[in-house]
Copies of this chain bind each other. A is one copy, B any other.
Amino acid sequence: MTTTRLAGVVTPVVTPFKSDLAPDPQRYLRHCQWLLAHGCAGLAVFGTNSEANSMSADERMVLLEQIVQGGVPADKLMPGTGTCALTDTVRLTRHALALGCSGVLMLPPFYYKGVSDEGLYRSFAEVIERVGDKRLRVYLYHIPPVSQVGISLALIERLLARYPGIVAGIKDSSGDWNNTQALLDAFAKSGFDVFAGSEVFLLQTMRAGGVGCITATANVNPEAIDRAYRGWQSADAERMQADISATRSVLHKYPMVAALKATIAHFARDPSWATVRPPLVELTPGQSGALVAELTSRRFDMPGVGA
């Protein structure tokens, strides 16, 4: 992995599926390229909103190879590699490293609940030791509302002490600003990169020493979020923050993955983009129509998407 670290707006790329629910590498590559051309500094492929955990390790590795072969620069990629299974996580992480990815975004093992920090420390340490490559950059993925298994400050402190440089940062999707603030206060000065888990906390995160946001809504609204990122010290910062938060709140009225895909389907004029894998369910036509109407009333657009 490179020594240049990602910063700015990173998005967990939604994964297009064909009608038989197989991943669609062509649509996927086009969307990755569109995102990089429209404000995304990096792509956290295989995140929560990518339906990554609804795919096998092999499906994920094939897709990653396809986009790299298709021309997506590997140093823009931060694939999700954390799974329930130690051996899958090691395999996916090694694969990402071999392809030259900038880093990996690593969920803790999330099947067992109420596990100890000691157990989580051993999980991350075992993966890092097995991969055994100092070029590895691990971004911890803290998303307790979904994983139900969180990453505490004490765990991060222990990992940073043992693996400085390798443990590179965190995506905080707790939805709790107090936690992001605590992470920034504790670790930002030492070079640990804190990404807000959504653009709602982008301005606050930048002001407190963070490096950007990793946010699902950048799948559809990357330019405005990138402007807010670049302009965080400008006089216009509060207005830009309010604008991107308002757009997010429109999407957030619906289940996020389905809403993102419905939005892309509409603006790309490609209904097949709406397909999700079970257990997720696509929006109803009524929901899609209401979502698009509200976005359009805000002059929202996705110029060139899907082309």
Residue of B with least CB distance to A23 = B87
Residue of B with least CB distance to A115 = B279
Mask of A95-131 contacts with B, CB within 8 angstroms, 1/0: 0000000000000111111011011101100100000
A277 in contact with B21 (CB, 8 Å): no
Q: Which segment, of A34-42, A50-58, A204-212, faces chain B?
A: A50-58
Residue of B with least CB distance to A127 = B278
In whole Å, how far is A88's beta carbon from the nearest beta carbon of chain B? 5
> Given A21-B126, A87-B59, does the pair A111, B54 have CB atoms closer than 8 Å?
yes
Tell me whether A148 is interfacial, beta carbon within 8 Å. Answer: yes
Residue of B with least CB distance to A146 = B113
Cα distance A122–B85 when bound, in Å?
25
Tell me whether A86 is interfacial, beta carbon within 8 Å. Answer: yes
Tell me whether A18 is interfacial, beta carbon within 8 Å. Answer: no
Chain B residue contacts of A246, Cβ below 8 A? none
This chain: copies in complex:
2
B108, B110, B119, B122: the one within 8 Å of A111 (CB): B110
Among A24-69, those with CB < 8 Å from B are: 48, 53-57, 59
> Given A21-B126, A86-B21, A126-B21, does the pair A53, B111 have CB atoms closer than 8 Å?
yes
Residue of B with least CB distance to A108 = B279
> Given A84-B54, A84-B84, A146-B112, does the pair A279, B59 have CB atoms closer than 8 Å?
no
B113, B126, B279: the one within 8 Å of A278 (CB): B126
Known: A55-B86, A112-B279, A116-B279. 16 other contacts (CB 8 A): A21-B86, A54-B84, A54-B85, A55-B87, A56-B85, A112-B146, A113-B145, A113-B148, A115-B279, A115-B280, A115-B281, A118-B281, A119-B280, A122-B281, A148-B148, A149-B279
A–B pairs, 18, beta carbons within 8 Å:
A21-B86, A48-B111, A53-B85, A54-B84, A56-B85, A84-B84, A86-B277, A108-B279, A109-B279, A111-B147, A115-B281, A119-B278, A119-B280, A119-B281, A120-B278, A122-B278, A122-B279, A149-B279
Chain A residues in the interface with B (C-beta under 8 A): 21, 48, 53-57, 59, 84-88, 91, 108-113, 115-116, 118-120, 122-123, 126, 145-149, 277-281
